[in-house]
Amino acid sequence: MTRWFALIVACVLIAGCTRSNMDSQPKYHEYEPAGLFRDGKVLQAPVPGTVARGDIERAAETTQRPPLTVDLLNRGREQYDVYCSPCHDRVGTGNGIVVQRGMPKPASLQDEQQRTLTDQHLFDVIGNGFGAMYAHGDRVRPRDRWAIVAYIRALQLSQHAALDDVPPDVQTRMALEKAP
């Protein structure tokens, strides 16, 4: 008897949920007119001085360059491969897959002019875009932009390194490996 009573109560409760119109509640959509506010718009501008959640931390990341570590370079490589290599290719020469498909060719990151740019300039270009390059500031966090800049510098060094840039102990090992 109690089982039947519990089953009946459960059925009534379940049926009551669908009858109360919980699935389709009245609400305003962003761009439709409504009398809720004086200006007749549902979508309201934020109050002057409003700071979005996370903006203060993001601003601090913009000005605080992280220390150069292997982890930072690895993160920079990951982010570069996702956001930069489609246009700039994996070594930064500007012959990525989208360029091969007809998009405008970007400047080679290996050019002397690009190698002399400041890190801050590269950081700003990643965030704000430049020429035909899209802005990635809304997609790439500031810390990751700094990581990409560090990785770009590593790419540039890898393509334009001189033997004098190699530490002396590594130069010795290279000479021994090269000898017959």
Instruction: Judge whether residue 79 has pLDDT over 70.
Output: yes
Beta bridge partners, 33, equal 41
CB 28 within 8 A of CB 36: yes
Helix 119-128 and helix 142-160, axial crossing angle in degrees, nearest 10: 130
Q: Indicate the CATH number for domain 67-162.
A: 1.10.760.10
| pLDDT category of residue 20 using cuts at 50, 70 and 90 | low
Q: Going by C-beta distance under 8 Å and a sequence separation of 6 or more, which residues neighbour residue 143? A: 61, 66
DSSP string, 81-120: HHHTHHHH-TTSSS--HHHHTTPPPPPPTTSHHHHTS-HH
Nearest CA to 41 out of 32, 51, 53 is that of 32
* Model pLDDT for residues 133-173, shown as the tens digit of each residue: 999 998 999 999 999 999 999 999 988 878 887 888 888 88
| pLDDT category of residue 45 using cuts at 50, 70 and 90 | confident
Domain residue ranges of the chain, discontinuous segments joined by +: 67-162
pTM, two decimal places: 0.68
| pLDDT category of residue 15 using cuts at 50, 70 and 90 | low
* Model pLDDT for residues 98-131, shown as the tens digit of each residue: 999 999 999 999 999 999 999 999 999 999 999 8
For the chain, give the mean pLDDT: 87
| pLDDT category of residue 80 using cuts at 50, 70 and 90 | very high
